[in-house]
Structure 1
């Protein structure tokens, strides 16, 4: 297996997701940790290996760096994508590409003029349960698909500082469900209708955002998609999917550390709590996504989560936000 030296851009929460996964992959080597603040880069390098660097030009000129993983704040993604593409380095980038379609289009133009392998980190596509459900749909295991539904509820609201920089609930969170369900259905919506409310943290409402939303996507085929999101959930990280067809239905269920169902004198069917958050629930998906990136860079296959997928998901998320604010359905058209 060809080994690729990676530069991990960023030292925040997602760096601590990707650092261990890179180290565990036999075809990947963590070569560089980059942050403009060298002390931050050094701390992460001490944990996961690699050289701490604070000079972007030097990182991208380093012959030991075969590709980059961009795990920096969203508003920096486009700048790093452009720099890496111009340097000829393959790119894996966390979602979303940006919060602005204009800036996303700028990144796409750069990738067109400086073509390199590019993959967007929609990790939920790479979760084994989600992949199995999609396979059942694609293989017509439930006949003709009629409806898709997802439940994505987080255990507690994030800090208000995060909310202010998030781009809004639809762009920050619902975008994962949008991409996943469009991927499963094999098509994109022609119309969206969304509603939002603020029920858990009034500070989120003061910021003009929601902590609870419902979204409906209508596909060109007539398939209806429902997305149920909440920033708070008393029983943990609730993540489920259902695909309903004219010949049956398939579901993914929540995951627990202990899946035994217990029956005794004091309880019936009591089970362990749900996985705490996305870091635990989707741990395997991040490794699987990096594995596909390795395959894309080494020429084994094209990446499945593309920059165009990222643009489409953002356009849909922004339309959902528009719908929730206006109370009206929003029509969409994709080439």
Structure 2
């Protein structure tokens, strides 16, 4: 049994808390928030001992690893403290919103090597994983195109947008990591376009809510991502891989996948899963499974800090492409 300290009690902690508590190989030992009332409320829901003392939390010998589910800007500090304490780390994405601080995260992990996993949960969605396995097994021959549709049902609150790091860092980074993982290579150039079409408040903050991105890989394969902060019919999440010998697709998940035919409608189907919490629920559990299994086997978990660093660099290059109208070469 691996003892876990959950750091944070906000939205993502509410995703991980119940899943840690239900996992047969993980024991939720402590729940940390610098505000004692927040720690107490979360511990009452998920289990574990509430704590507002980070040093005491990390000094607890029953804590083998931490799950960092705090705001992005705090990740570096918690990674530093946990690594110095010799605790394995699972950290919600991204490592940070800036390359400079992301490089500092990597330096900390180099100086204090502990098992580290970054929470790019979409790699662990069963359908995404099956598509990748089929691509890598050569089912469609040489890969030509990868395409990702990732559209949210409604824009987030403006307070969230202000601290999100921009749409590419907040959202497109998921697609970037997923497509690069499927392709097995990193792009050498990126071109992106963005508009604000749904929420003028987002535009007033200097951000966009509709984007299209093209990645070009060294093999010549091309990837396309389109993101939207609004989608009238739900959380639209699809992938397509096109190769010399065929095509693979993942389809949207629904609350009820039964297809109905009647005098009123043909192929009537239930609405799409509403948001990422519902659509990717299984993936968060599978990510914790992978973290647990790597620790038990003494293997390096994936995705790694390097994966996070490279994905962030590409996301920031997308934002630069929108600002400048240029194709951005990647190192």
Same fold (TM > 0.5): yes
- CA distance in structure 2 between the aligned counterparts of 1:300 and 1:332, rounded to whole angstroms: 33
- CA distance in structure 2 between the aligned counterparts of 1:184 and 1:218, rounded to whole angstroms: 14
CA displacement 1:110-144 (0-9 Å, x = unmatched)? 10111000000000000000000000100010000
Aligned to 2:115: 117
Equivalent pairs counted in the alignment come to 331
Q: 1:191 aligns with which of 168, 189, 192?
A: 189
Aligned to 1:261: 259
- CA distance in structure 2 between the aligned counterparts of 1:273 and 1:95, rounded to whole angstroms: 28
Aligned to 1:143: 141
CA displacement 1:303-330 (0-9 Å, x = unmatched)? 1200000000000000000001111000
Aligned to 1:248: 246
Aligned to 2:161: 163
Q: CA deviation at 1:92?
A: 0.1
- CA distance in structure 2 between the aligned counterparts of 1:297 and 1:180, rounded to whole angstroms: 23
Aligned to 1:331: 329
Runs of 4+ in 1 over 6 A off after TM superposition: none
What TM-score, normalized to structure 1?
Answer: 0.98
Unmatched 5+ residue regions in structure 1? none
Cα RMSD between the aligned structures?
Answer: 0.6
| Contact 2:116/2:300 (<8 A) preserved | no
Aligned to 2:296: 298
Q: How does 1:194-273 map to 2 (within 5 A)?
A: 194-273=192-271
- CA distance in structure 2 between the aligned counterparts of 1:119 and 1:197, rounded to whole angstroms: 33
- CA distance in structure 1 between the aligned counterparts of 2:250 and 2:297, rounded to whole angstroms: 32
- CA distance in structure 1 between the aligned counterparts of 2:306 and 2:315, rounded to whole angstroms: 14
Q: CA deviation at 1:266?
A: 1.1
| Contact 2:253/2:273 (<8 A) preserved | yes
What TM-score, normalized to structure 2?
Answer: 0.99
- CA distance in structure 1 between the aligned counterparts of 2:85 and 2:297, rounded to whole angstroms: 19
Aligned to 1:89: 87
**3-state DSSP class of the match of 1:270?**
coil
- CA distance in structure 2 between the aligned counterparts of 1:222 and 1:160, rounded to whole angstroms: 39
- CA distance in structure 2 between the aligned counterparts of 1:252 and 1:301, rounded to whole angstroms: 30
- CA distance in structure 1 between the aligned counterparts of 2:248 and 2:299, rounded to whole angstroms: 28
- CA distance in structure 2 between the aligned counterparts of 1:167 and 1:257, rounded to whole angstroms: 31
